[in-house]
Amino acid sequence: MTPKEELQRRVNGLQDRMKADDCDAVLVMQNTDLYYFSGTLQSAQLYVPAIGDPVLFCRKSIPRAARECPWNIIPINNYKYLPDKIGDFGHKLPERLGLEYDVIPVSAYLAVKKAFPNAELLDASNWIGELRSIKSPYEIEIIRNAGKTMADAFTYVPELIRQGLSELAIAANIEKVLRDHGHQGYIRMRGFNQEFFYGHFLSGPNGCMASFNDGVTAGSGMGAFFPQGPGERRIQINDPIYLDYVGVFDGYNIDQTRLYVIGVLPHKLKYAFQVALEIQETLLAQIKPGVVASDLYDSALDIADRAGLTDNFMGYGSERVKFVGHGVGLELDERPVIAKGFNVELEPGMIFALEPKFVIPGLGIAGIENTWLLNKSGVEKISVLPDDLGTIPY
């Protein structure tokens, strides 16, 4: 259960941003944001006025909301009653009302617009994204533990990888280990149309297959209907075996990638793996409060260029993606985005994955990914598993 002081601090952060922009209220509607500001994840909307306590308008479950959420809870079953209920509660109706434009569907937006015909609607998603990008000591403690649990679970992985088994068969065993360690299963993503299921277990040339998702890899998946993640390909000697997995423990995401091989990794991939480690080391030396995200991307690209791997960096050719890292938290795709054009200064409390990776056509993918916390004094590794290439006996 999230402590009230923690929720109050988050609400205050949102209210500060609202006041600076003359916004009278934000109506929080999306699951993750609801949980973040209210401590409960119910069928509800959280009305956050610029001044005063939030009110949770809840359809169900009200008993559950009452156990988890310190704010006033008002039963409601339709947006159209919101203005009346807000009035009942002594609040003036908002003239400027913020909504999460990045995640709420058009139908919900139009319903709110109809319910508040005199309000000017505006986009509150930047405020929420910025606020959530800085993790509190309370969150950092949860995320540290999540990182340890993920590393612990991954000590069981090498013994599950065997020549001749399919990607999917091995992935099913890894998923069971993660679940037995308390993995929540469901992975929340904020981006429209983004989907993810545990991880990308990709072997050999399957590591070169991109798809709809915003990441570097997709893999074969199981068919056109789910074109990412493990598929039917069987593991062979000398394959690069690439595991980009997400651990979700106590609600928080840990993103990490490790590379394994049964036998000997092809020279080009071994070289690419070394360059990826070099990029990671260089970025870590550069990261401190105030460093600009896009400068980190440029540094990474410089190293890729000097290594002769420009066309292979973060995808191949026209399918390259233009980032080298991203924030993680309650969702897998948070801020900051460490990307071309993302001119934001990193701040203490940010937690992000760095994932320099290279796609070598015909052979597969090599790279590393860890989740890091930026402290005042420097960077702390959250995904505490060793970075080495995992060599599996056969």
Q: How far is CA 312 from CA 91, 181, 299, in A?
A: 56, 35, 16
Kindly give, in sequence order, each residue whose CB lies less than 8 Å from that of residue 334, ignoring residues fewer than 6 positions away.
Answer: 129, 132, 133, 190, 326, 327, 328
Nearer to a second copy (CB atom), residue 188 or residue 258: 188
Bridge partners (DSSP) of residue 365 are: 359
* Residue 135 tokens, joined: 């993790």
Closest contact distance (angstroms) between CB of 378 and a second copy is 29
Closest contact distance (angstroms) between CB of 368 and a second copy is 23
Distance between CA atoms of 122 and 142, rounded to whole angstroms?
A: 33
Distance between CA atoms of 231 and 343, rounded to whole angstroms?
A: 38
Nearer to a second copy (CB atom), residue 97 or residue 283: 97
Closest contact distance (angstroms) between CB of 182 and a second copy is 7
Nearer to a second copy (CB atom), residue 101 or residue 394: 101
Q: What is the DSSP letter of 48?
A: E
Give which of 29, 190, 16, 17 is closest to 100, Cα–Cα: 29
Nearer to a second copy (CB atom), residue 125 or residue 282: 125
Distance between CA atoms of 21 and 13, rounded to whole angstroms?
A: 13
Closest contact distance (angstroms) between CB of 36 and a second copy is 10
What is the CA 160 to chain-centroid distance, rounded?
26
* Residue 363 tokens, joined: 């052979």
Pairing of strands 334-339, 323-327: antiparallel
Closest contact distance (angstroms) between CB of 41 and a second copy is 6
Distance between CA atoms of 127 and 102, rounded to whole angstroms?
A: 12
Nearer to a second copy (CB atom), residue 253 or residue 383: 253
Nearer to a second copy (CB atom), residue 33 or residue 387: 33
Q: Which residues bind a second copy (CB under 8 A)?
A: 1-2, 29-31, 35, 39-44, 60-62, 64, 68, 75, 99, 101-110, 123, 125, 168-169, 171-173, 175-176, 179-180, 182, 184-186, 188, 192-193, 195-198, 209-214, 218, 222-227, 229, 250-251, 318-319, 330
Closest contact distance (angstroms) between CB of 153 and a second copy is 12
Closest contact distance (angstroms) between CB of 235 and a second copy is 16
Nearer to a second copy (CB atom), residue 57 or residue 273: 57
